Structure 1
Amino acid sequence: MDEFDLAVAEHRAGRLDAAERGYRSLPESPKVLHNLGVLLIAQERFDEAEAVLKRVLELDPGNGPSAFSLAMQLLARGAYAEAWPHYEGRRRQPGLHIPSIDHLPEWRGEDLAGKRLVVLGEQGFGDQIQFARFLPMLPPNAGVTYVCSPPLMRLMQNRHARLAPGVVGAAPFQGDYWVLLGSLPLRLGVTLENLPPPLPTPVVWRGRGGGVGVIARGRPSHTHDAHRSLDPASTRRLLGLGLDLAPEATGARDFADTALIVAGLDLVITVDTSVAHLAASMGAPTWVLLPRRGLDWRWLRDRADSPWYPTVRLFRQREAGDWASVLDEVEAELAALGLRKGA
């Protein structure tokens, strides 16, 4: 085992100080610096991590994982204009499976007057709900087909987008250009200061005394699910506060069905998963429980609100893995509001 492998072994074992010493003792190279950047992020040394990841890209401009990791750090501190070009590195990030259309040219800002644009949804359900807000920013004289995941189709049917069903590659989508949904902020010049509101949904929150709905766990295959989902004891505690909104509990067939349930609730309390984006897009008061480690970029750092969603309130772990204190805070706030369990 060489010195790099030894440092990686220390890293995987959680002995970060030893791993850092190992990485820093090695000659400078993209793979060593990338691992060091990931380590620094885990230690919340974000400024140092940014500098290291930028150095990787100086040495290897096509390094997708480092570009993507750098984008996450820039987005998390609100540097959107600087971040979006690096966010394109997600296309070369193993495990993300970013789609494309081979038989059409990719749209990179060309005039769309009278043209047909195919917008490909990507990544998770929450990403597709969150980024759909950029569709109305496209020129009104362009024909837009938004290809989203099937469970989102009924939710997304509205005056802003014509939807095409199915999985990319299953049909020869017709159009003049295609673009990734996650690339629209780059193409459209989106910053933290000019974020548009969420895309209107067919169902609007009305909040008629339906109580509280909760989601305790996200999709297990998510990279950071071990951090964002509640442990069994905390799950039981949260489920005791409200109606379980998980599809297996409600029988919801898709997000439109879940939206109908959310529409009658007073409040949604959820971990960082797609229902947070659904409820917040509907205008429902939404409390999002956030982990200390593996925190997603879109919630930024050290704030209790979200520029993406006016009705969101963020409850953050102070110590990694400590959901108990987060739930203490939630329960105290619920008691002050006098809210009850959903019916």
Structure 2
Amino acid sequence: MSETNPSDAPSPSDPSSPDAAFAQAAELQRTGAYPEAADAFRRLARETLTLNVATNLGACLIETAEFDEAEHWLLTAARHRPTEPVLRRLLGNLYVEMGQMERAEVEYRTGLAFRPQDAGCELALAGLLLSLGRYAEGWPLQEARAGLNPGVVPPVEVSFPEWQGEPLDGRSILVWYEQGLGDQIQMCRFAQELKARGAAHVALGCRPVLADLLATAPGVDEIVPAPRGETVRIRDYDVWSRYFSLPARLGTTLQTLPTAPYLSARPDRRARWSGASGVGIAWRASPTGFNARNKNVPDDLARRLLDLGATSLHPEDTGVADFADTAAIIERLDLVISIDTSVAHLAGAMGKPCWTLLPRLHCDWRWLRERTDSPWYPSMRLYRQTEVGDWTRVIDEVARDLQARSAA
């Protein structure tokens, strides 16, 4: 095997390589055409096997759920570069998907042993530990996220210090936005915890589409809208934090999660959506969101639930202007059925019964492992894929339960 530096999949590049075939395969991988990319890398492996080819092929095969072959290529690469954290992280990711959590943890920690504070390994290990309910260990490692993707976790440039968990008695705190809309809905629950710690003023930064909704959360004194692509001028507060830094600073565990409903419909929106009733469904994720390719339920399968009387909760179908409107609709529903997206978080945050449909591949840490309930949202029931990409069996189960519910 030729010695070249492994790429950092799943968005690999090899600009120094003259091999046009490699560049084409890498582009297929970058755009999410994983089966085609895997075939292209296989052809390259038969001709000239390099560390990059083996690494990228293994990464693609994780995405196509060809786990045994992925393990072969990643172990082949790791034998030639055993100290490379990227390879250790990819092996850890593979073992997570194979359900081999102890082996995954070993790989992540091995990568960190070779390169302490490697952000990719730290964040991957955080996700594993959180998915196992080991919150005290996992939350601090989540801090690695800040430097990995500034487009998702934007830098904060202010004159006042970041809050490290010290007493807040009489002080003001700004919690700045990060990640997706559902993430902000999930984490705004901690505003009331900040007030319980003595904060005199709690301000939440968020996208404008969330502003009126998050203003209903207990403990929130101020909303700071942050339009996409714009610089926001921030007044002075005593300290600042990010949404996903709060659980670590607050010492949150599974046992101490605040679980009471914490978001509600605004009175001025209720009349506008007074005709909503029954069951609402959301089956499509934002195409730019995490794991959208695996989260989405095909339209023909969603149609089965629509034919049973469910109505779409997607904005293009409801005509809502923002999440405060969606909350007013959800308040009047009996049940929400949703994939892992912001609608599920909103229903859970409102205490509305919600059936959440989860993918087998890259299932998010917050849903833990193999549970049908969620400690974050007591009103939620989880339906999990048992085979990668197989939504048919999930929808079969949901349809049976929906029919039984209607007949009761």
Settle same-fold status: TM greater than 0.5: yes
Contact 2:74 2:90 in 1 (8 A): no
What TM-score does the superposition give when structure 2 sets the normalisation length?
A: 0.78
SS of residue in 1 equivalent to 2:259: coil
- Comparing 111-120 and 241-250, the one that deviates more: 111-120
**Alignment CA distance shift 1:240-1:93 (3 Å):** farther
Q: Among residues 192, 198, 206, which one is paired with 1:136 in the alignment?
A: 192
Contact 1:132 1:199 in 2 (8 A): no
> How far is the alpha carbon of 1:222 from its aligned partner?
1.7
1:62 counterpart = 2:138? no
Cα deviation for residue 325 of structure 1 reads 0.6
Runs of 4+ in 1 over 6 A off after TM superposition: 206-209
After TM superposition, give the deviation of residue 233 of structure 1 in Å: 2.4
8 Å contact from structure 2 (residues 167, 198) kept in 1 = no
Structure 1 unpaired stretches of 5+: none
Residue by residue, what CA displacement relative to the aligned partner does 1:214-260 show, whole Å, maximum 9, x if unpaired?
00111111231111111232233343341100011000111110011
Match of 1:24 among 78, 81, 84: 78
* Aligned CA distance change for structure 1 residues 12 and 111 (closer, same or farther; 3 Å): closer
Shift of 1:61: 2.2
- The SS at the match of 1:289 is strand
Distance 2:155 2:335 in 1: 35
Instruction: Return the match for 1:192 from 230, 241, 254.
Output: 254
Q: Which moved more, 1:302-311 or 1:20-29?
A: 20-29
Residue 57 (structure 2) pairs with residue 10 (structure 1): yes
- Residues 205 and 223 of structure 2 are in contact (CA less than 8 Å); yes or no, is this contact kept in structure 1? yes
* 2:349 maps to 1:281: yes
Is the partner of 2:332 in helix, strand or coil?
A: coil
Which residue number in structure 2 is paired with residue 211 of structure 1? 278
Which AA in structure 1 matches 2:182? G
Give yes or no for contact 1:34–1:56 (8 Å, CA) kept in 2. yes
On the 8 A contact 1:130/1:277 being kept in 2, the answer is yes
Would you say the 8 A contact 1:116–1:143 is kept in 2? yes
- Amino acid in the other structure paired with 1:91: A
Distance in 1, matches of 2:407 and 2:335, equals: 8
TM-score (norm 1): 0.92
Structure 2, unmatched stretches of 5+, are: 4-49, 62-68
Are the equivalent residues in 2 in contact too, given 1:304–1:313 (CA < 8 A)? yes
Deviation of 1:184 after TM superposition, in Å, equals: 0.5
Query: 2:56 & 2:238 partners in 1: Cα distance?
Result: 49
Cα gap change, 1:208 to 1:333, in 2 (>3 Å): farther
Give deviations 1:99-135, integer Å, cap 9, x for gaps.
4233221111233222221111211111111111111
Identity of aligned residues (%): 39
Determine if the alignment matches structure 1 residue 164 to structure 2 residue 209: no
1:249 aligns with 2:308: no
Q: How many pairs are equivalent?
A: 339
**Distance in 1 separating the partners of 2:282 and 2:264:** 22
Instruction: Give CA-to-partner distance per residue, 1:176-225, whole Å, 9 cap, x none.
Output: 21111110100000001110125622329x99992110001111112311
Query: Residues 184-333 of structure 1 correspond to what in structure 2 (within 5 A)?
Result: 184-198=246-260, 200-203=262-265, 210-241=277-308, 242-333=310-401
CA distance in 2, matches of 1:314, 1:257: 25
Give the distance between the partners of 1:87 and 1:141, measured in 2 at CA.
24
In 2, Cα distance between equivalents of 1:337 and 1:175: 50
Give the root-mean-square deviation of aligned CA atoms: 2.3
Q: Which has the higher contact order (CA 8 A, sep 6+)?
A: 1
Give the secondary structure class of the aligned counterpart of 1:25. helix
Do the aligned residues in 2 keep the contact of 1:26 with 1:32 (CA within 8 Å)?
Answer: no
Q: Deviations over 1:250-282 (max 9, x none)?
A: 001111100111111111001000000101111
- 1:64–1:238 distance in 2 versus 1, CA, 3 Å: farther
Residue deviations 1:24-64 (CA, integer Å, cap 9, x gap): 31232222212222222233322211111012122222211
Change (3 A) 1:134 1:337: same
Provide closer, same or farther for how the CA distance between residues 141 and 128 of structure 1 changes in structure 2, counting only shifts above 3 A.
Answer: closer
Q: Which amino acid aligns with 1:7?
A: A
